[in-house]
Amino acid sequence: MVMIDNLATQRYCSLFDLPPSGNYRFIEEDILTADMAHICDGSDIVIHLAAVTDAEASLTKKDEVERVNVLGTEKVARACIQTGAALLFVSTTSVYGGGLAEIDESCDESDLRPQSPYAASKLRAELRLREMAQSEGLRHLTCRFGTIFGTSPGMRFHTAINKFCWQAVNELPITVWRTALDQQRPYLDLGDAVAAIAFLMNRSLFAGEVFNVLTLNTSVRDVLEKISAHAATSSIQFIDSPIMNLYSSHVANRKLINLGFEYKGTLQEGVVQTLHLLRMLASSAMSGMKGRTREMAWRHGQ
């Protein structure tokens, strides 16, 4: 397995403790400047995850988002065409934008209403891949992921469930967008995300189809109730956001299920595991601090 990343997010920990059964090669380069055809040569499938993903932050760096998420995707796709590899592209359910009782992959293009530069860039990348499939024979599929939750060595905390767990463990106010408390949003357990990628790869479904990949649709209120059942949560602090959405977004995941895929993650389990991990880290940090304090006291006594 060849992995390429420019490590702009400084998540070196993502490379720690990789499964021992794999054969890994890591390349620290940027997809915009790397020789992607050379890197992809000999590969059967390329999984394209590289992107600027923070929706709210994308408002202040639109040019970078466009460059990485659209031009970068086109460059990876071009390498796939040159080498004969198939492309699995990870997009986002944020391309829907909300407003309908339920929405699926067969919706009209007028129902695709991204609410941030990040989501808009992902939709433009999808459309560019479709054009390249028609004009240049690109073999690809698109996964529209819900918001990821769950534990991993390189997990991030800028999205709802992981962020709320972090705030709860650290006894901080839970920061919720003012309009979001009772709105439905699609979420994806990390284990389900990995399993869905493997499922689609094994079936070689690279005919340009789009698949929604999400474990459940739920509200922020429900997420907070799950967290409060296992943590003494602080008060809720409602905040305004430049990309505040007035609509719920209930995204259907039947297409993948109808192919035989089984979602196994749960919100309950994801919350419990994340709270447990954060508490372990906090406990380990406190133990280390006490040990250093005792050592300093002993040295001072000497």
* Token pair belonging to 83: 């080498």
The mean pLDDT of the chain is 90
Query: Please, which residues bridge with residue 141 across strands?
Result: 88
Lowest mean pLDDT among 61-70, 77-86, 275-284: 275-284
Contact 265, 192 (CB under 8 A): yes
For residue 138, the number of C-alpha atoms closer than 13 Å in the C-beta half-sphere is 27
Task: With H, G, I as helix, E, B as strand and everything else as coil, classify residue 3.
Answer: strand
**pLDDT above 60: residue 240:** yes
Instruction: Give the up-direction half-sphere exposure of residue 224: CA atoms within 13 A in the CB hemisphere.
Output: 17
For residues 41-59, average pLDDT = 88
pLDDT for residue 295 is more than 60: no
Whether the pLDDT of residue 254 is over 90: the answer is yes
Q: How confident is the model at residue 128 (pLDDT cuts 50, 70, 90)?
A: very high
Q: Give the domain ranges of the chain.
A: 2-286
The token duo for 19 is 């499964």
Q: Given a cut of 90, is residue 79 above it in pLDDT?
A: yes
Decide: 213 and 253 in contact? Cβ < 8 Å.
Answer: yes
Distance CA 216, CA 267 (A): 8
pLDDT for residue 110 is more than 70: yes
Instruction: Compute, in degrees rounded to 10, the torsion defined by CA atoms 64, 72, 207, 263.
Output: -60
DSSP state of 95: G
Query: What is the Cα–Cα distance from 253 to 34, expressed in whole angstroms?
Result: 35
Where is pLDDT greater, at 66 or 290? 66
Report the helix count and the strand count for the chain, using DSSP H and E.
9, 11
pLDDT in tens, 8-17: 888 888 898 8
Q: How confident is the model at residue 246 (pLDDT cuts 50, 70, 90)?
A: low
CATH 3.40.50.720 fits 2-286, yes or no: yes
The confidence band for 293, taking pLDDT boundaries of 50, 70 and 90, is very low
Q: What pLDDT does residue 156 have?
A: 87
pLDDT of residue 27 exceeding 90, the answer is yes
Calpha distance 53→201 (Å, rounded): 23
